[in-house]
C-alpha cells in the first residue's frame, strides 16, 4: 500500500503490475477491493492503480476537508497529477463514476480511455433512492437533526441493504464487513454524516452540458437490474458521448464488476484493446 497527502488528507492506494496506467476508482460505500477481479485480470499487462477514496476504506477521514462535489473533483485532479499520470485509462463505478465525469469534461486530453460503470453519472438516482438520499442530506445539514443522524447505526442500515449481494455471491460476508466496518466507530458515524452534509443530490448541469467534450473511447458498462442507478442513465451517456459503446449486462445489478466479473472484464478488454475485436464499434449486450 502507498499513500499521498492531498489537500491536507492522506489517501491510500495500491499499485500492481507494469505498463500503461489503468486507474480504477470505487464507489459508495466500498473501497479498492471491489476491483479485485479486474486487478487480477489486468495486472499482467497494465499498471493498475486502485485508491481508497478520501474517507473510505483505509484513507483518512479528515473533517477539515469538505466532500463537496467541485472540491472532490479537484482532489481527484490533484491525486492524478501527484501520480504523474498522463494519457491514462480510467474506469470508475458509482460515486467514483460521478467524480470521473466531472474530471473528464475538464481534462479531456489526459484520459486515453474512459469507462463508467453503474453510476448516477450526469443524472441521479431512481425516485425512491433519490428521496432517501435527499432526506439524509437534509438531516445532515440541519444542526438540530445532525446529532440524531450521528447516532444512527449506518453500519446496520448498509449491512441490511447489501446483504442480498452476499446471498447472490457478489462478495462474501468478510468482504462486506471490510467495506462497512469503519461505520461502526464514532469517527465513522460522524464522517458519513459529514459526507451527506455536503453531498448534492441534484443533477449537475455543468457535467451534463459538457459531455460532448469527452472524445476518448468510452465504455459504458451497466448492470440492467440496478435499483439505484437506472439503465436509462447509461443509455443517455451513450447518446451524449460521441465515441462510446454501451455494454448492458442483463442479469447484473449495481455492483456489476463483482456480480459479473467475466462479462465486465470482457467489456474492459475490448475497451482497452479494441484491435482484438471490431465489435467495439457497435453497442454490446453481455
Q: Give a yes or no: residue 154 inside a domain.
A: no
What does the pLDDT read at residue 243?
95
What does the pLDDT read at residue 3?
98
The 8-class DSSP code of residue 107 comes to -
What does the pLDDT read at residue 285?
42
Name the residue among 155, 160, 161 with its Cα closest to residue 191. Answer: 155
Q: Give a yes or no: residue 90 inside a domain.
A: yes
β-pair partners for 51: 13
Mean pLDDT of 67-87: 97
What does the pLDDT read at residue 281?
37
Q: In this structure, what C-alpha cell is assigned to residue 267?
A: 467489456
Mean pLDDT of 180-194: 95
Indicate if the pLDDT at residue 235 is higher than 60.
yes
Asked whether the beta carbons of 114 and 90 are under 8 A apart, the reply is yes
Q: Give a yes or no: residue 26 inside a domain.
A: yes
Q: Give a yes or no: residue 131 inside a domain.
A: no
Query: CB under 8 Å to 41, separation ≥6 — which residues?
Result: 261, 265, 268, 269
Mean pLDDT of 83-93: 96
Which residue range(s) make up the domain with 234? 2-125+204-285
Q: Give a yes or no: residue 149 inside a domain.
A: no
Q: Give a yes or no: residue 248 inside a domain.
A: yes
Could you give phi then psi for residue 230, rounded to 5 degrees? -60, 145
Q: In this structure, what C-alpha cell is assigned to residue 59?
A: 484513507
Q: Which has the higher per-residue pLDDT, 280 or 158?
A: 158
Mean pLDDT of 206-218: 95
CATH number, domain with residue 16: 3.40.50.1820
Widest distance between CA atoms in the chain: 58
Domain count, the chain: 1
What does the pLDDT read at residue 274?
78
Give kind and range of the element (H or E) at residue 89.
strand 88-93
What does the pLDDT read at residue 59?
97
Name the residue among 48, 4, 66 with its Cα closest to residue 268. Answer: 48
pLDDT digits (tens, 9 = 90+) for 251-275: 999 999 999 999 999 999 999 997 5
Q: Give a yes or no: residue 168 inside a domain.
A: no
| Residue-by-residue DSSP string for 229-260 | S-HHHHHHHHHHSTTEEEEEETT--SSHHHHS
Q: How far is CA 75 from the centre of its chain?
A: 15
pLDDT digits (tens, 9 = 90+) for 10-57: 999 999 999 999 999 999 999 999 999 999 999 999 999 999 999 999
Mean pLDDT of 100-113: 96
Q: Are strands 88-93 and 111-117 parallel, antiparallel or unpaired?
A: parallel
Give kind and range of the element (H or E) at residue 219.
strand 218-223
Indicate if the pLDDT at residue 212 is higher than 50.
yes
Indicate if the pLDDT at residue 282 is higher than 80.
no
What does the pLDDT read at residue 283?
41
Q: Give a yes or no: residue 169 inside a domain.
A: no
The pLDDT mean for the chain works out to: 94
Cα torsion through 25, 26, 28, 33, rounded to 10: -150
Indicate if the pLDDT at residue 278 is higher than 60.
no
Amino acid at each position: 500500500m502507498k499513500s499521498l497527502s492531498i489537500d491536507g488528507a492522506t489517501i491510500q492506494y495500491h499499485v500492481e503490475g507494469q505498463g500503461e496506467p489503468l486507474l480504477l476508482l470505487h464507489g459508495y460505500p466500498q473501497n479498492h477491493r471491489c476491483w479485485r477481479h479486474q486487478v487480477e485480470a489486468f495486472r499482467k499487462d497494465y499498471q493498475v492503480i486502485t485508491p481508497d477514496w478520501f474517507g473510505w476504506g483505509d484513507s483518512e477521514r479528515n473533517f477539515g476537508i469538505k466532500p463537496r462535489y467541485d472540491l472532490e473533483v479537484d482532489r481527484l485532479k490533484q491525486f492524478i497529477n501527484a501520480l504523474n499520470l498522463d494519457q491514462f485509462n480510467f474506469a470508475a463505478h458509482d460515486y467514483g463514476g460521478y467524480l470521473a465525469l466531472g474530471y473528464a469534461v475538464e481534462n479531456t486530453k489526459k484520459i486515453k480511455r474512459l469507462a463508467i460503470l453503474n453510476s448516477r453519472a450526469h443524472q441521479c438516482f431512481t425516485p425512491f433512492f433519490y428521496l432517501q438520499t435527499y432526506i439524509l442530506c437534509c438531516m445532515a445539514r440541519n444542526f438540530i437533526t445532525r446529532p440524531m443522524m450521528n447516532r444512527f447505526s449506518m453500519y446496520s442500515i448498509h449491512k441490511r441493504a447489501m446483504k442480498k449481494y452476499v446471498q447472490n455471491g457478489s462478495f462474501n460476508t468478510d468482504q462486506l464487513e471490510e467495506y462497512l466496518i469503519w461505520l461502526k466507530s464514532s469517527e465513522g458515524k460522524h464522517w458519513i454524516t459529514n459526507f451527506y452534509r455536503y453531498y448534492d443530490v441534484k443533477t449537475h448541469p455543468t457535467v451534463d452540458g459538457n459531455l460532448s467534450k469527452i472524445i476518448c473511447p468510452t465504455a459504458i458498462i451497466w448492470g440492467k437490474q440496478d435499483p439505484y442507478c437506472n439503465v436509462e442513465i447509461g443509455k443517455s451517456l451513450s447518446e451524449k458521448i460521441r465515441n462510446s459503446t454501451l455494454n448492458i449486462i442483463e442479469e447484473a445489478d449495481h455492483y456489476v464488476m463483482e456480480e459479473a466479473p467475466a462479462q465486465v472484464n470482457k467489456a474492459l478488454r475490448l475497451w482497452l484493446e479494441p484491435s482484438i475485436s471490431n465489435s467495439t464499434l457497435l453497442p454490446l449486450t453481455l
